[in-house]
Amino acid sequence: MRRVRMKYIESNCSIELSVRELCARAFLSGDLDKRPHSSLDAMRVGAEIHKKIQNEAGATYSPEVQLVNTFSYDGIYYTVSGRADGVIRTADGFIIDEIKSVRGFDFLAPPRDIFVAQMKCYAYFLACREELGTIGGRISYVNSENGKIKYFNYRYSFEELRLWYRDVISRISTTAKFIKHRQEELLPVARNAVFPYGELREGQELMIREWYGSIKRGERFFACAPTGIGKTMSALYPAVRALGADMADKIFYLTAKSSTRREAYRAAGMIFEAGTHLRTVVLSAKEQVCLCAARISGKSGDICNGRECEFARGYYDRAQQAVFELLSRQGGFTRRIINEVALKYRVCPYELSLDLSEYCDIIICDYNYVFDPTVYLRRYFGEMGERGRYLFLVDEAHNLPDRARDMYSATLRRSQFERIYAHIDPEQKDIDLVFERMIMALRASRRLCKDNLVKTEHGEERGFYMNSSLPEGIMSELENFRQECDKWLRKNKESHLAPEIENLLSEVRRYLTVCEYFDERFLFYIEISGGDTLFKVYCLDPSYIMDVLQNRAVATALFSATLAPMDYFTDVLGGGDKANAISLPSPFDTDNLCVAVAGYLSTRYEDRKKNINRYVSAIAASICARAGNYIVYFPSYEVLRDVSAAFVKKYPDVKIIAQRRDMSAKEREEFIDSFKEDTGKLRIGFCVLGGSFGEGIDLPGSRLIGTVIFGVGLPGLSNEKNIIKEHFDTRDNCGYDYAYTFPGMNNVLQAAGRVIRREEDRGIVVLVDDRYTEEKYRTLFPEHWKNIKYATNASFLAESVKNFWEKV
């Protein structure tokens, strides 16, 4: 559930918040517990219990009574409001009723402090309103498992409540002062924030002006901003000014790569140093920052709780101190400083970063914290379409279509259930039967594939089934499996099977969550292969979901150096009629880049083997005019291997470094570091197009003076890509382009963009494929690719490159 946050009203120096938030801030204590609790089910059951008690309470019982109170403390007025579950009128006066649905051991324990606090707030508010000397209170504990009710009764004097309430307000006064300072001191400066550079770059002013206008109009702003524009600052600076103008409350800077996050943090730091002292936090994945000894030792399952993790134990008793220490130190918060303070206070660094983010103006994080249906930040975002006062800045937005599809697709395999079932003791009848029933339902799905079921020559069964609707039988069985496993885990936390079942249950929950979004833009399919059965819910077209999700913000900026063709991206990323799209020219001198097309060669799959030696000749022709650092991109590892072997055989003295599958982070870093500043030597990196070295690497100056790109970047043929093609063909006959051409060309543009990173850079891009001579591909070339040389053979290619280097 999205939190309704404390809000400062400058005109009357008041803080506004709800009773729920006041008590959460003042009385939250104890352990952090992030284990799933089926909260939606609990909320539904709780609401039903509330309604039943209220309906049966009689004429003296008034349900859902709105109460509000304004209290002055230390120069600030606190206006707190909420709905009491019930107000009972008796012969002796009034009783406030607070209804709480609980289960298990909680029903046997006395009411939690936070529950009593909520009741006492309402009692104080009503006593103030009715001018009462005394008032009663009641906590109605309802066991959600059997319906039994237990009452806890209280009696308070007005003075007792007043003193108690003053203490409650004092507990949140430090937080209130932070909010007041931000509103009165920081935001007015942000409204007229100083641009941190001496002058605007070419194209930068247009991007800043257009994005700021889109914020005011509540639009989705799309910008194709070539390298050198300064797109990070061009997106962040107007958003900061919009915060100062009270158009939004927070900025979410979203990106898929750590290198881009570092650049965004650096830009926020420059704005801070220029005099606008907004706070910035970088959120890291939980797995990257976790300090829990159980997880580090390899334990699986849900361990984010006080029983398993010392950093979760007593988290809420120390977290606020840790947050305030961070806030007192500096204005920017990265993983290093957060982990340092988390260790000092023995609190979870991941949860600490989230709590800290509530005091920050700029939150830098991965796409999934806003868009993923299972991990989005619930403290900020409610249901789909519920608008908040946020700005979304989506960097490297060319990656978002595939990421969005992945976030709204889900897969389960029959073998996942069978592997655990094999280790269940048959004597454990309850969980044994749950798994047996689920596995039988999954095996029965084989009949859906009967029209497309064959046996290979090795006797292996293969089959598939596709449908634009979900099979009710499997869905109902999965929901039953979820409910039964939830019950079993509550009673069997210590079982050796619990971690594995928790992991599987997490995947089942995600699968069911994704299914909630299923419509005509999705496909369900079953695939039988290798003795296993796969069940996939696949998002074909994320445009509607992305459109609705962006309603969580006042405005969104989506930008990249390769956001082309623009119509494609505005379509699949939910731009619709709210899109304001611009394409900016490159700020660099077009004469600094030589683009040549080796249109005499085919890189189609069927032509690759016979053309290996000609590919070697094309590489040699591209690099022979000047020694230096080059990267050659290939359409697959197979082609890379074959060309690399042939090249080394023909040119054994040339330094070659080749990308390998599954390189570690350290190995990737070493690969990039091998591209040194100009040493007068020839060095060639052999990489796969669309891989980890195809984008996001910055090799300015002589660290990279050229790329040779084989192929048009098409993703490998697959059933899923073909399904996307068919889906968009039925809409406007653009299926092949949406599934293959446009994503492929983006790979090419990203690889080409590794050359020319600074104003003084010079370099070449050689495109090897006869398809680049076709009008279809030529229309996809960036405007700054001027005077393209179309070579008809290797000699012509070598001459074109040589002429370029002689001129520069």
**Are the beta carbons of 85 and 98 closer than 8 angstroms?**
yes
Question: What angle is formed at CA 712 by the lines to CA 708 and CA 714, rounded to 5 degrees?
Answer: 130
d(CA 665, CA 642): 25
Token pair, residue 415, equals 């073998």
Q: Report whether 704 contacts 763 (CB < 8 A).
A: yes
Q: Which has more confidence, 764 or 30?
A: 764
How far apart are alpha carbons 631 and 763 in whole angstroms? 12
672-704: per-residue pLDDT in tens? 999 998 778 999 999 999 999 999 899 999 999
Cβ atoms 315, 347 nearer than 8 A: yes
With helix as H, strand as E and coil as C, how does 388-438 read? CCEEEEECCHHHHHHHHHHHCCEEEEHHHHHHHHCCCCCCCHHHHHHHHHH
Residue in 558, 584, 581 with CA at minimum distance from that of residue 235: 558
What is the distance between the alpha carbons of residues 466 and 763, in angstroms, rounded to a whole number? 48
Q: What's the mean pLDDT in 520-524?
A: 96
242 vs 235: CA distance, rounded Å: 11
What secondary structure letter does DSSP report for 245?
Answer: T
Q: Is the confidence at residue 51, as pLDDT, over 80?
A: no
Helix %, strand %, coil % for the chain, to 5? 45, 20, 30
Question: Is 200-278+361-403+543-587 in CATH node 1.10.357.10?
Answer: no
Q: How far is CA 428 from the centre of its chain?
A: 39
- What is the pLDDT, as a whole number, of residue 679? 73
Cβ atoms 622, 801 nearer than 8 A: yes
On the question of pLDDT at 38 being above 60, the answer is no
Distance of alpha carbon 533 from alpha carbon 437, whole angstroms: 16
Run of H or E including 727: helix 719-732
pLDDT class of 228 with cuts at 50, 70, 90: very high
Q: Which residue has the tokens 């908040």?
A: 388
pLDDT tens column, 553-602: 999 999 999 999 999 999 999 998 789 999 999 999 999 999 999 999 99
Render the burial of 292-305: b for 16+ CB within 10 Å, e for the rest: bebbeeeeebbbbb
| Coil/strand/helix, residue 482 | helix
The CATH number of 7-175 is: 3.90.320.10
463 contacts 449 by C-beta, under 8 angstroms? yes
Token pair listed for 554: 């006042």
Domain boundaries defined on the chain: 7-175, 200-278+361-403+543-587, 286-360, 410-539, 590-807
Q: Three-class SS of residue 272?
A: helix
Q: Which residue reads 């009128």 in tokens? A: 89
DSSP for 196-212?
SSSSPPTTHHHHHHHHH
DSSP annotation of 377 reads: -
For domain 590-807, is the CATH number 3.40.1110.10? no
Instruction: For 301-357, write each residue's pLDDT tens digit.
Output: 677 888 889 999 999 999 999 999 999 988 999 999 999 999 999 999 999 999 999
- Measured CA to CA, the distance from residue 312 to residue 348 in angstroms comes to 6
Tens-place pLDDT, residues 168-227: 999 999 999 999 999 999 999 999 999 999 889 889 999 999 999 999 999 999 999 999
Written as one letter, the residue type at 56 is: E
Give dist(CA 86, CA 445) in Å, integer: 50
Separation CA 294–CA 303 (nearest Å) = 8
Does the domain at 410-539 match CATH 1.10.275? Answer given as yes
What integer best gives the mean pLDDT of the chain? 93
Question: How far is 136 from 92, CA to CA, in rounded Å?
Answer: 9
**752: closest CA among 695, 670, 674?**
695
CB 790, CB 800: distance < 8 Å: no
CB 207 within 8 A of CB 582: yes
Q: Is 64 left (phi over 0), alpha (psi -120 to 50) or beta?
A: left
Surface-to-core class of residue 282, CB atoms within 10 Å of its CB (0-12 exposed, 13-18 middle, 19+ buried): buried
Equal fold, 410-539 vs 590-807? no
Distance, in Å, from the CA atom of 176 to the CA atom of 174, rounded to the nearest integer, reads: 5
